[in-house]
Amino acid sequence: MSDLEKATFAGGCFWCMVKPFDQWEGVESVISGYSGGNIENPTYEQVKSGTTGHYEVVQITYDPTKLSYETILNIYWQQIDPTDPDGQFHDRGSQYRTAIFYHTEEQRILAEKSKSELEKSGKFNRPIVTKILPAQPFYPAEEYHQDFYKKAPEKYLEDRKKSGRDEFISKHWESV
């Protein structure tokens, strides 16, 4: 068995970011949580207030012999609006901004390369504002947030539909 690696992404509401990664062979776990802020062990209520500096994130543990970091980056970009500096879809506020938190120098290089390629692709007519940041302490979210798409599938689908995320993804990535 190879060593597992971690990938951490902020892509707006973490409820919508788990399932896209959870479905891939090689993914061992996808944990919803918080990172990038200025207090330890924040609660959802604290993060939701927008005052802690944390992002809602997912932390993916994966087997790099089965799933490459480049593939994970491609999955990530196709879940977000990388041009929105103020949140994602109907979720507004600093906790819903996008970011790639790299765990190694290789991840940083690959993330920068993928961002540059996306900028050059012409797929978006506004600048790509997703930040690429060093990994920071990760705090798992409360248990009721974990695997939300499995625990409350109707609410999950309703929230996704209302958010505008699926429309955006279809418009910008349907040819992928």
Active site residues: 13
Question: What is the distance between the alpha carbons of residues 148 and 171, in angstroms, rounded to a whole number?
Answer: 25
DSSP for 26-71, please give it.
Answer: TEEEEEEEEES-SSSS--HHHHHTT-S-PEEEEEEEE-TTTS-HHH
Looking from the CA of 73 toward its CB, the CA atoms found within 13 Å total 21
Question: What is the distance between the alpha carbons of residues 32 and 58, in angstroms, rounded to a whole number?
Answer: 5
**Cross-strand pairs, 100:** 9, 132
Q: Quick one: tokens of 20?
A: 């896209």
